[in-house]
Structure 1
Amino acid sequence: MPKKPGYEQLEHRIAELEAQIKASDSAMKQFDSYMSSLHDTALGVLTELDLSQLLKNLLQNASKLIGMDDGYIFLPSPKKDELVIKYGIGRFENQIGYRLKPGEGLSGKVWISGEPMIVGEYESWEGRAPATAWDGMGADLGIPLKSGDKFIGVIGICSYEKGKKIGENEVLILTRFAELASIALNNADLHSKLRQELNQKIQTEKLLESQNQWMNTLLENLKVGVFMVEAPTGKPILANRQAKDLLGRGIMNGADKSTLSQVYQAFKSGTDEIYPEEQMPIVQGLKGKTHSVDDMTVIQPDGRQVDLEVFGSPVKNKDGKVVASIVSFSDITERKKTEKELRASHETLLTVLNSIDATVYVADMKTYEILFMNKFMIDLFGKNLSGEKCWDVFRGESKTCPNCTNDRLLDKNGIPTGVCVWSDKNPITGKWYINYDRAVEWTDGRM
């Protein structure tokens, strides 16, 4: 049956439409595959913690869409003077660690320019890298990885299949994957920094905990009380075990710099006068001053009285601001008792010496300073000459007396040898005396 006029043209048009539909359908399928791959890769960027596996998957997805089996990711070396293959698929799985200088090979040139680059036949390209790993390579596409304007690496897809071409579509696909790779690398860098900061924080906390334990152990085993108040309120914040034992109290709520004496029942030793807060070393420390006292008595809840010697100083931060005040104190009750007994004994001795109708004096054996004259001797010379040189006021000499017996009163070990008896006429009084000299330890420790 003969065809009607124009029928052949219609058939040709139908064939063209069918071809366009097939091409469109193929493009839609490729687009769907592209979007699905991008979606999966983007999801991996958000959820995958293993950066190495993530970037390998990204390379595989990109190479599958582009239709090439080999790919790589170059990252800068620690010194930023070379590019190093960190991740690879296909032939580049065995090239991990391969290095390029700036401007060397395709990736080195992408590093310099910061722009995508395509080479049709890499093996014969004059700018190729010299290593044999690149022998036989055909088309090669490199896309820069960036964080903002900062270069962070190169992602590349290549083919060892002769005649394989790379066009705008392939560049667009790999560019999108490069953006995801950049995000993944940024996330990994951020994660690494956060992990490093976290580890550092954990180590710091462990160190502080160890130091606190050591400090607490030290404080609890000190034989002196340690007590601290915060600035500027003066509220107690620390009291070690010895402090609690000596004060009969620990950290008392409601205590501050204006009530410390009342709360802890601190008095002036030997009186019923509450200790003035302004004179307390702990309060002086709040003012930035170092201060000490030995005239404080604390009355514990059970009525026991404890005499304290207290040393206080401010605690300052790195800027010099007072943030606390700390005191250390010890029990000097027995020392006070001994001192009282010594004073009583000394007063008794002086009473006895002042009752003797003979001249009695005490002089420092090193300086010849007169430390004591009894009443009889004061009356004889008309005044108390304590503090003067014995050879001057008793003998009228300009230097040590020629008949001074000091060298005979101590042995070579500094031990008193006993009484040295001698007689002579005193040039001041004009009288003859029998002298009994002896080395003794005076109340202040001097011989």
Structure 2
Amino acid sequence: MNVEDDIGRKHAGESLGRGGRGVKALLEVIPDLVFRIDREGNFLDLRANDDGKLYAPREAIVGGSLHATMPPDVADDALRYIARTLDTGEAQAYEYRLPMPQGVLDFEARIVASGADEVLCLVRDVTERKRDERALRRQNEYLAALHETALALMHRLEPADLLEAIVARAGALMGTPHGYVYLLEPGEAQLEMRVGVGMYAEYVGYRLDPGEGLAGRVWQSGRTLVVEDYAAWEGGSAKFDGGDFRAVAGVPLKSGSEVVGVLGLSYPREDRAFGDEDLLLLERFAELASVALDNARLYASAQQELRERERAERALGESEEQYRMLVETVQEGIGFVDADERITYCNRAYAEVFELAPHELTGRSLLEFLGDGERQKALEQTALRKNGVRSSYEITVTIGGGRKKHLSASGAPIMDEAGRFRGAVHASSTLPSACARKRCCASDRR
């Protein structure tokens, strides 16, 4: 019995065409790879319209076994799901990844029983869908990091607390628990590691000269630097000999045009590296972190040096203006609303979502751009803000001509010193194309 016979049997009584022609036509058009596999993991037959999606040559698969033709972990997972399908009679579905000549691909496998001791396994390439999901997740993580930094600026955290928050948020953004921050104190001639997490925790307090190691070179040049294998890099500092460092990236933290520190992250695994998109996000985050750090230092100085209060407050105002200018340049929409959801300030990117200029949007209520269902969702979000809750959500706005835009948004409350709700800050960006959203939604429904 081959794949066409088996599928024909499973669809007996359905109008798939006489003599199995309908079954064969169906198999010609579906994008799935179809395998017949027995309980022991032996391949009995296969059908593939694209051999480029096969991990091993066709002739090696048919008559071969899972363990002989697939990576051990993938083969073990497949055998487990095959056994579960045959033992319970219920269809199973799971996802896995394979290193292919064209790169690492994501696959979704669906398994149904087709006999007493054999199954049909339909495998589909879902790499594009997973890539869209990862891109959306990365965007949401960046918005969350953006909010944390913005809140740190508004709440004027102590510098030590802020440094830990910067490293934690940057690590979450890049997917690594290993990071550090070096700072250059006024009048000092060396950088000092002030915060280290993961494998850098033991190096807190270490000092570097200009041009020494990766951080020293970032400090000296004022530019981002990436090393693919730090252990083999000839420019590494002898102070870190013996560390299991692989890919390392460092970006400058600046106050105005001067470098005041270095933010660094590392991947210890050989299969992880910093791509162009990663570096772009890290640099944008470092710009926000620099302003937050600058503001926190100014605030600490104002608290400690009351005699220079007037000078410190003037510098703080200049720092906040720098933050306003930075908010105007980031790609994400940033908007502030009062307790009645009326917009008090927004950057150009936020106004462009509604296809208006910032001054045209200021003073208007967000509720004007929402349908009944979306208006209720917005009011529920406002209720969360009044209780001091930050959250991320999706919402659909209606602009001129009844056109709709789907947004990914995050909101955080603004409280006064007495703990009273005064408004909220929002960050938003347009979600990926409708096609990409449909793929993600279809996956969720499955």
User: Is TM-score (shorter-chain normalized) higher than 0.5?
Assistant: no
Larger RCO: 1 or 2 (CA < 8 Å, sep 6+): 2
TM-score interval for Structure 1 and Structure 2 normalised by the shorter chain? 0.3 to 0.5
Q: Which has the greater radius of gyration?
A: 1
